[in-house]
């Protein structure tokens, strides 16, 4: 769990991380969440009375308007946890609740890569692919809190790969860091292939997406093909979103950001061929800027918005 204190301009004033220890149950987890908040406030040299509002962002599945975590696959014993109300009662402050991927997108929109954008799609490339969609300061939550699942848009249905979600043909099954390693490993297993990745597959921890990108950079043909295909899949995903909502900006976040400008150029090149000419020319395709701080900065952005909403409605 990570908590940070953020000022009105989106600047982080300090943050703290504590282990979730999900197996110790939800009561422990909720108390740990409050403790992380207290420690973050102390780390920023502030008192709880200096805080205007709190934003909590968690993984799904969830009911965002109700403030409840329903059945999160990575917090196994947790079920139907009223996170927002718990935190709100504890600190007696306006408390906002959001999906963590949506929050990261809102953080980038408020204080990172999307600062100048009016609308934005974020893809976070990690073990899976998360993301969020922001349109005119609105976080697209969807009617059932399942909006902006950009990792699970379908990009291949003829001979689809199975996704971590159990379904088939999702972007995540092709372009997450995990999928990059999987595709590289499959290519390496083919008879007679030469690649510097061969030696790396047996190292401790096995092959990583970072190895594949580094080998491609160093001129390895097999790795270069894997990276090129990854750029293509991401361009297909980006184009689908561009043709749906026509955003100002498409932002890529997560570990693959380390791949640098050339990877972004490859994605842009494919988008130029796949998308309609006007969005292909005008939509900015960039990397995220906030790194792993995007989540709590975005949660703070949700809290800030709630705080201002309360003030305006109480004036009426
Ligand atoms: Zn999926």
48 Cα: distance to centroid of ligand 1 (angstroms): 40
171 Cα: distance to centroid of ligand 1 (angstroms): 7
What does the alpha-carbon distance between residue 284 and residue 293 come to, in Å, rounded to a whole number? 22
Q: Which of these, 118, 85, 95, lies nearest to 305 by C-alpha position?
A: 95
- Residue with the two structure tokens 């809102």: 106
128 Cα: distance to centroid of ligand 1 (angstroms): 9
pTM of the predicted model, to two decimals? 0.95
Q: How many CA within 13 A on the CB side of residue 11? A: 5
179 Cα: distance to centroid of ligand 1 (angstroms): 12
End-to-end, the C-alpha distance of the chain in Å comes to: 37
| Tokens, residue 60 | 């799904």
274 Cα: distance to centroid of ligand 1 (angstroms): 22
Q: Along the 316 residues of the chain, how does pLDDT read in single tens digits? A: 999 999 999 999 999 999 999 889 899 999 999 999 999 999 999 999 999 999 999 998 999 999 999 988 878 888 999 999 999 999 999 999 999 999 999 999 999 999 999 999 999 999 999 999 999 999 999 999 999 999 999 999 999 999 999 999 999 999 999 999 999 999 999 988 999 999 888 888 899 999 999 999 999 999 999 999 999 999 999 999 999 999 999 999 998 888 899 999 999 999 999 999 999 999 999 999 999 999 999 999 999 999 999 988 887 6
13 Cα: distance to centroid of ligand 1 (angstroms): 36
* 113-289 CATH: 3.30.420.40
What does the alpha-carbon distance between residue 155 and residue 173 come to, in Å, rounded to a whole number? 9
The CA-atom distances, in angstroms, between 65 and each of 95, 145, 198 are 12, 8, 49
- Residue with the two structure tokens 């909590």: 56
302 Cα: distance to centroid of ligand 1 (angstroms): 27
**What are the extents of the domains in the chain?**
2-99, 113-289
Same fold, 2-99 and 113-289: yes
What does the alpha-carbon distance between residue 120 and residue 123 come to, in Å, rounded to a whole number? 10
What does the alpha-carbon distance between residue 92 and residue 53 come to, in Å, rounded to a whole number? 9
170 Cα: distance to centroid of ligand 1 (angstroms): 5
CATH of 2-99, one of 3.30.420.40, 3.40.47.40, 3.40.1550.10, 3.30.420.10: 3.30.420.40
117 Cα: distance to centroid of ligand 1 (angstroms): 28
161 Cα: distance to centroid of ligand 1 (angstroms): 10
Residue-level pLDDT at 70: 95
Going 257 to 263 to 176 to 134, the CA torsion angle's sign is: positive
136 Cα: distance to centroid of ligand 1 (angstroms): 27
């Amino acid at each position: 769990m990570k908590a940070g204190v953020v000022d009105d301009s989106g600047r982080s004033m300090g943050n703290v991380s504590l282990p979730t220890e999900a197996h110790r149950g939800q009561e422990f987890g909720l108390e740990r969440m409050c403790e992380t908040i207290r420690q973050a406030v102390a780390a920023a040299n502030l008192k709880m009375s200096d805080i205007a509002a709190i934003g909590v962002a968690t993984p799904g599945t969830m009911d965002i308007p109700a403030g409840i975590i329903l059945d999160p696959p990575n917090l196994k014993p947790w079920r139907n946890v009223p996170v927002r109300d718990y935190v709100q009662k504890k600190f007696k402050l306006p408390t906002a609740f959001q999906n963590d991927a949506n929050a990261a997108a809102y953080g980038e929109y408020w204080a990172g890569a999307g600062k100048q954008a009016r609308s934005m799609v974020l893809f976070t490339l990690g073990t899976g692919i998360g993301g969020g969609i922001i349109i005119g300061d609105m976080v697209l939550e969807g009617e059932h809190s399942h909006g902006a699942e950009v990792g699970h848009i379908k990009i291949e249905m003829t001979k689809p790969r199975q996704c971590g979600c159990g379904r088939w043909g999702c972007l995540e099954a092709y372009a997450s860091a995990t999928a990059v390693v999987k595709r590289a490993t499959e290519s390496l297993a083919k008879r007679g292939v030469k690649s510097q990745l061969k030696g790396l597959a047996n190292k401790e921890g096995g092959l990583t997406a970072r190895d594949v990108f580094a080998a491609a950079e160093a001129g390895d043909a097999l790795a270069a093909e894997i990276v090129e295909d990854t750029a293509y899949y991401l361009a297909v995903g980006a184009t689908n979103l561009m043709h749906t909502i026509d955003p100002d900006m498409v932002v890529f976040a997560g570990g693959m950001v380390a791949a640098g400008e050339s990877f972004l150029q490859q994605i842009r090149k494919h988008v130029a061929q796949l998308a309609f000419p006007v969005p292909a020319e005008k939509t900015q395709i960039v990397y995220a800027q906030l790194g792993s701080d995007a989540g709590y900065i975005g949660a703070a952005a949700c809290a800030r918005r709630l705080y201002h909403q309360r003030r305006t409605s109480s004036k009426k």
